[in-house]
Amino acid sequence: MAQITGWLIDLYPNETGLALWLLGEDDERHKLHIDFPVTLYAAGAFQSLRQAWRFLQSKNVSLARETRRDLFSGERAVLAVTVHTPAALPGLFAELSGEFPALDYYDADIPLPLRFAARTGISLLGRCRLDLTDNRVAAIEALDDPWQLDAAQLPLRVLELSPEVDPSFRPPRQVRVQYGNADYSLEIEPFRAFEIAIASILRRFDPDLILTDYGDTWLLPMLTLNPNRDPDRQVLTRKAESYFSYGQVVHRGGQVHLFGRWHIDRKNAMLFNEYGLEGVLEQARVSGLGVQEMARKSPGAGITAMQMLTALQTGVLVPAVKQQAESAKTLAELVQADKGGMIYQPLTGLHENVAQIDFASMYPSIIVNFNISPETAGNTLVATEGGVSKGGLIPQTLRPLLEKRLALKRWISELDPRDCRVKTLKPRSAALKWLLVVCFGYLGYKNARFGRIESHEAVTGISRELLLQAKEVAEAMGFLVLHMYIDCLFVQKPGCKAAPDFAPLLSAIEKQTGIPIALEGVYRWVAFLSSRRDARIPVPNRYFGVFADGEIKYRGIELRRHDTPPWVAKTQLAILQCLARAKTLEQARDFLPQTQAIVEKAKRDLRAGRVPPEELVVSQRLSRAVEDYKSPPPAARAARQWLEAGKSVAPGQVMRFVYTCGHPDVWAVGCGELDGRMVDMGRYLKLLNRAVGSILDIFAPFSSEKPKMLI
């Protein structure tokens, strides 16, 4: 009997049970085995269950009758079907549900790492100690848990591979290779030599993680060698797909998953830019899903996994979802979901010494504090008055997540901003934030396993109530409330200029609402913009301002939009930065001539052809197939060129293009070279003027060239 300590990095079914990969503290990577029978449940009419029992008797399964708890309908008599190898479960479920479609199925499509975590207390990335007989696990003990803030870091070996150019533009010639202290480029041709070099790195360096650009869609599919650590397995490929999520069509490229080590394609990973590898590892850790899964799926998959784990741990059945395309949330539904929050009309114009106060993680806090869960909806107040109840399924799932995020934020605020730990703590906090945000959305998602629209509405209802309470508190203390938006307030009071001046208000609001609240900052000045169509109508989420420390914050303006060309965005930012040097509004007005100079210089650069084409690139997402457009937008016209060049496009893909004169009126990036003389200057000047106007008009409302149209 041997004992071994390390981190669990991979887990998947094999012929007899589960294969486990341990990153040992001895710096070895161990492939281990464990028996792992799994059970699914069926419930329904007695006759059908009896027929199912007979049907299953000829299979290699164990059958039993049990009583288990459905979250909504309570105790249920179920048929428990246990298979001895988890690899057999998906096939059996498909066969059974095909034969008996009227039965309700539970625990039939739970990711294996979650079952493993529920049974052993050890989730992926967790540190553990194992007793081994040969390579079989005899006993297993957890040494940490996902909620620990400062768990020991995994000593991962990372290999980075990235081509010098986007392969959809032209075939790359080289791949940059980085691992350990090595950093060099490999020629792709001759290909045999390239592959031999890669194979040798895999053998000698033996990375735990292969981090690539375009690895899913280009590099790994091209290789003939087996990039797995487990030589007995072939790579797992998943097809590319376009799907609808949060009001948008999203395109996800094909994927290459590895066994025994991980592959993440940065260019094909959801939100990777948002929180990076640190964030992905954090999400994988708390969700219990594998790293490769988490990197490529939305945080929604992560929060669903966490809910399933809570269900498994508390003896609640997990309803199986029929394999169907995720039904889309329409934009209207999305807007409605957003409108559930409080939206106030700001007092448009320029204001000085304004504090922005944010409720921290407002919706998740409401869910936890008011015990909002599908099975408790309508019963929330009773549950909270009862005092210490452990709460419904959703609050139980969220509480540790919320507490961990708050603790991380507290830790960050205590550290010196230059402390190197801040660099890893911030993305971890951001990654948790996404899980929390999405959890609220999933409460109202009709295909969520544990969702219910009433609980969704309860959350937004309470949020509006709390915000109104906050407003009343502020006004009672003599503050003017300039604006409120979902989970934040903008307040002003003569004589209040610095953070401490607002501290009494913060504690009063927190005391009243019970939700943690924080001062986002005090603006030296802030501008709330009005609608461009009608100057009398305020727009709730179009504003910009400068905090006391000089930091600029902006929402809703061109700079925030992904489809604004960099040249326009940079000029708009330069203007803001120029104005931000002013300590007061009056001073800001003195900077207006300088901002004009910035704009004039930008225009001269454009006219003289000094703006490089990549600064003029517009990026827009295709919401449908090119042929399905009735009036093709520029992105679709660019996509047409793309198709003519023999490349492919899919809905959800982002097209990058430059506006040109004549026909065609766009030039798609990646389709040959752009003739600099072709750039549609007029169009870009218009875009620039608009962006400049967003900032400057409010400073000189009576001197703008064109009077505002009043409808």
Partner DNA sequence: TTCAACCACTT
Partner DNA sequence: ACCCTTGGTTGAA
Contacting positions for DNA (CB under 7 A):
246-248, 331-340, 453, 457, 531-533, 537, 539, 541-542, 555-556, 560-563, 619-624, 629-636, 654, 665, 686, 690
CB nearer to DNA: pick between 24 and 693: 693
CB nearer to DNA: pick between 51 and 623: 623
Q: What DSSP line would sit under 325-358, residue for residue?
A: PPPPPPHHHHHHHHHTS-B-----EEEEEEEEEE
Distance in Å, CB of 692 to DNA, minimum: 11
Q: How far apart are CA 114 and CA 260, in angstroms?
A: 18
CB nearer to DNA: pick between 329 and 603: 329
Tokens 């900032």 belong to which residue?
Answer: 695
For 627, residues 6+ apart whose C-beta sits below 8 A from its C-beta are none
Distance in Å, CB of 288 to DNA, minimum: 25
Distance in Å, CB of 364 to DNA, minimum: 14
Distance in Å, CB of 403 to DNA, minimum: 23
Q: How far apart are CA 107 and CA 71, in angstroms?
A: 13
- The 3-state DSSP class for residue 84 equals coil
Q: What DSSP line would sit under 473-511, residue for residue?
A: HHHHTT-EEEEEETTEEEEE-TT--SHHHHHHHHHHHHH
Q: In the structure encoding, which two tokens stand for residue 688, read together? A: 């620039």
Distance in Å, CB of 350 to DNA, minimum: 17
Burial code of 326-359, b = ≥16 C-beta within 10 A, e = fewer? eebbeeeebeebeebbbbbebebebbebbbbbbb
Q: 349: closest CA among 533, 484, 482, 497?
A: 482
Phi, psi of 619 (to 5 degrees): -115, 120
Distance in Å, CB of 361 to DNA, minimum: 13
Separation of first and last alpha carbons in the chain: 83
Distance in Å, CB of 630 to DNA, minimum: 4
Distance in Å, CB of 517 to DNA, minimum: 17
Distance in Å, CB of 151 to DNA, minimum: 30
Q: 19: closest CA among 36, 7, 6, 5?
A: 36
| Half-sphere exposure at residue 456, Cβ-oriented, CA atoms within 13 angstroms | 22
Distance in Å, CB of 336 to DNA, minimum: 3
Q: In the structure encoding, which two tokens stand for residue 699, read together? A: 């400073």
C-alpha dihedral (373, 470, 348, 538), degrees to nearest 10: 30
Distance in Å, CB of 358 to DNA, minimum: 11
CB nearer to DNA: pick between 336 and 389: 336
CB nearer to DNA: pick between 28 and 614: 614
CB nearer to DNA: pick between 461 and 609: 461
CB nearer to DNA: pick between 12 and 434: 434
Q: 544: closest CA among 522, 565, 529?
A: 529
CB nearer to DNA: pick between 381 and 537: 537
- Max Cα separation, the chain? 87
CB nearer to DNA: pick between 250 and 477: 250
3-state helix, strand, coil in the chain (%, to 5): 40, 25, 35
**How many residues comprise the chain?**
711
**Secondary structure of 110-154 in HEC code, one letter for each residue:** CCHHHHHHHHHCCCCCCEEEEEEECCEEEEEEECCCCCCCCCCCC
Q: 322: closest CA among 30, 512, 44, 94?
A: 94
